[in-house]
Structure 1
Amino acid sequence: MSAAGTQPANGPRYLARRARGADDLEAACAIRAAAFGLGAPDRDPFDDACIQIVIEDRRASCLVGCFRMLPLASGADIARSYSARFYDLARLALHMGPMTELGRFCVRPGLRDPDILRAAWGAVTAHVDTQGVGMLFGCTSFRGIDPAPYAAAFALLAQRHLAPPDWAPLPRAPQTVPLMRQQDAPDARRAVQAMPPLLRTYLAMGGKVSDHAVIDAQMNTLHVFTGLEIAAIPVARKRLLRADARVPDGGA
């Protein structure tokens, strides 16, 4: 997230901003569909309740990524979240401070510029700081519903990154895969390479995951609940995030 990219003379190449009307939302849904391998634009009822953020390539004048944020006043509102459809979040319901669910965090397939994620996390950081958010959470997706390719990744998550008992989610979805530790230590490099970039970023900041993955056949994914307590982010990482923070107010 700290890597510098080529920038236009008048500012960063990538800008994370609020979606401006139906055209932006339609483009974001198309990016989501491409990222998840769906045959039609990805829309659901949560879109209307969320803050929609798009990531614009200012040099190419096109959208290259998107995500949405659902602010919650406290854990008492956790049942409104997308994640609550798949996980029992009763323990998180006791969380007293503001929370935000991140969802549909996607980059256009084939693009690997780390500055795209950098712009996205700058917008998230600005939101966290201005709203006093104490926890970020969401469902982090692995492509496909076959857990076999992710055995090492799941084992590493089980060994090092399980959520603490005071907020760890319990199973709710009908089809789940437990994150099982392996008898031998997993190959950490191979395991990390198998994880989606979003999850790697969460873990680098101190994020924790559920002890099981959900099989979501509709989205053709396996996903794990991921939570990040803002207080747990290392100070050096917070400094880098805030250096890129920009309120996504819809302006250019």
Structure 2
Amino acid sequence: MGCVTVSFHKGRLGVRLARTPDDLAACQALRHACFFAARGVDADAYDALCRHVMIGGDDGLVGTCRVMVLPDGAALGASYTASAYDLTPLAGYGRPVIEVGRFCAAPGASADVLRLAWGALTGIVDAEGAGLLIGCSSFPGAVPERHAEALALLGKYHRGPAAQLPRVKAAQTLPLTGPVPDRRAALSGLPPLLRSYLNLGGWVGDHAVVDPVMDTVHVFTALSVDAVPAARARALRALAG
């Protein structure tokens, strides 16, 4: 991995990249606590290929995510996202791609955790010259009916370009279709990270994946760096120092 420095503060929270095995273990422990509501270690083979963002303060680590930097679309097969989605339509993408995964914030953590995560990602995007961010945005609970309106909203208003949509690969999938009787209620059902992707100009695929292991329903999410509104980009760069 290249040498990228991410280190800044906002109020009582600071952000940096994991540097030691103990740092990584802390990230994995927080992930397990957030995803499974129990003590343990959430780890997989992709961790060794990623940079791990740490957000914390006086109360210890309160947020984390991992970042995989890929040189171009042809390398997307190495990503975690590619284990659930056929990313062949993006194989011709010529700029570096950043995969964002395993984002989580401790229960009760402030909204600044997500904002700081985006600040850290902005620093990495700029350092790597990345043009696209991708990932899997998850709804808690592997029960599609629970998220029906929110998923239908995504399919109706936030589907990405047809030529770039990932193809079906996972065993359990469902199309993003159905009625959206109350758009405001459906929006409130979106996870905060996914909502922030969309607010920055991001888009989703045309189907969701049911993941019984993580107990989630997730959608492919992408954000073109060039689509981020200029004012938002300036604010994120200012946050990152």
Query: Structure 1-normalised TM-score?
Result: 0.88
- Maintained 8 Å contact 2:29/2:42: yes
* CA distance, structure 1, for counterparts of residue 160 and residue 15 of structure 2: 29
The count of residues paired between Structure 1 and Structure 2 equals 232
Partner in structure 2 of residue 125 of structure 1: 122
Larger relative CO (CA 8 A, sep 6+): 1 or 2? 1
Question: What residue in structure 1 maps to residue 16 of structure 2?
Answer: 17
Residue number in structure 1 paired with 2:216: 221
3-state DSSP class of the match of 1:166? helix
RMSD between aligned residues: 1.4
**Residues in 2 aligned to 1:61 and 1:218: alpha-carbon distance in whole angstroms:** 30
Do 1:155 and 1:186's aligned partners in 2 also have CA atoms closer than 8 Å?
A: no
| Alignment-derived partner of residue 34 in structure 2 | 35
Aligned to 2:83: 85
| Structure 1 residue 64 corresponds to structure 2 residue 59 | no
Deviation at 1:102, TM superposition (A): 0.3
- 1:199 alignment partner, one of 191, 194, 213: 194
What secondary structure is seen at the aligned counterpart in 2 of 1:153? helix
Give the secondary-structure state (helix, strand or coil) at the position aligned to 1:94: coil
1:12 shift after superposition = 3.0
Which whole-Å deviations, capped at 9, do the CAs of 1:206-250 have from their partners, x for residues lacking one? 11111111011111111100000011111121122112125xxxx
Percent identity reads: 46
Asked whether the 8 Å contact 1:68–1:102 carries over to 2, the reply is yes
CA distance in 1, matches of 2:79, 2:155: 24
Of stretches 149-158 and 41-50 in structure 1, the one that deviates more from structure 2 is: 149-158
Asked if 1:152 is matched to 2:149, the reply is yes
User: Which residue type is aligned with residue 237 of structure 2?
Assistant: R
- Corresponding letter in the other structure for 1:178: P
Unmatched 5+ stretches in structure 1: 1-9, 247-252
TM-score (norm 2): 0.92
